[in-house]
């Protein structure tokens, strides 16, 4: 998986890392059981503090998307085909409500929000299909 972080972004580096891993899981380019680069490897690759990478991995672990052990390092724990983690929906709905409120507050029309959402979901589905074909 190719990770690209932008030190000039308003988004913290650990959040960028977390978001890119989540996207890769949703797109199917990272699959359950697949190993992630070590904290040291990523920190060295980007020239950032290992605690920053560790914080991104810790968020993923808390969300149940990654599991970590001393023996195997960090690996993807689940994928889009898995059942949602118990309790996930409540927290996700709250975050979605905030994102939708942000779009509405900025004047986006309801239909534009729906169209954008539908388009993004279709992109994830297409990515998973393409990823499945290339793995065969």
In this predicted model, what pLDDT tens digit does every residue of 109-125 receive, in sequence order? Answer: 999 999 999 999 999 89
Mean pLDDT of 72-95: 91
Q: Cα–Cα distance between 93 and 100 in angstroms, integer?
A: 10
Beta strand residue intervals within 1-136, DSSP E: 66-69, 73-76
Sign of CA dihedral 121, 115, 85, 101: positive
**CATH class, 1-82 region:** mainly alpha
Sequence-distant (≥ 6) Cβ neighbours of residue 6 within 8 angstroms: 16
Q: What are the residue boundaries of the structural domains of the chain, listed by start? A: 1-82, 83-136
Q: Cα–Cα distance between 73 and 66 in angstroms, integer?
A: 10
The model carries a pTM of 0.84
């Amino acid at each position: 998986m190719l990770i690209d972080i932008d030190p000039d972004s308003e988004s913290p580096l650990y959040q960028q890392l977390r978001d890119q891993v989540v996207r890769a899981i949703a797109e199917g380019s990272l699959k359950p059981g697949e190993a992630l680069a070590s904290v040291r490897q990523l920190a060295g690759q980007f020239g950032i503090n290992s605690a920053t990478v560790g914080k991104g991995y810790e968020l993923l672990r808390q969300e149940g998307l990654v599991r970590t052990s001393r023996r195997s390092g960090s690996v993807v724990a689940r994928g889009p085909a898995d059942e949602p983690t118990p309790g996930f929906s409540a927290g996700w709905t709250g975050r979605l409500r905030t994102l939708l409120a942000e779009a509405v507050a900025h004047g986006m029309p309801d239909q534009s929000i729906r169209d954008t959402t539908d388009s993004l979901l279709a992109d994830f589905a297409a990515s998973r299909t393409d990823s499945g074909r290339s793995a065969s």
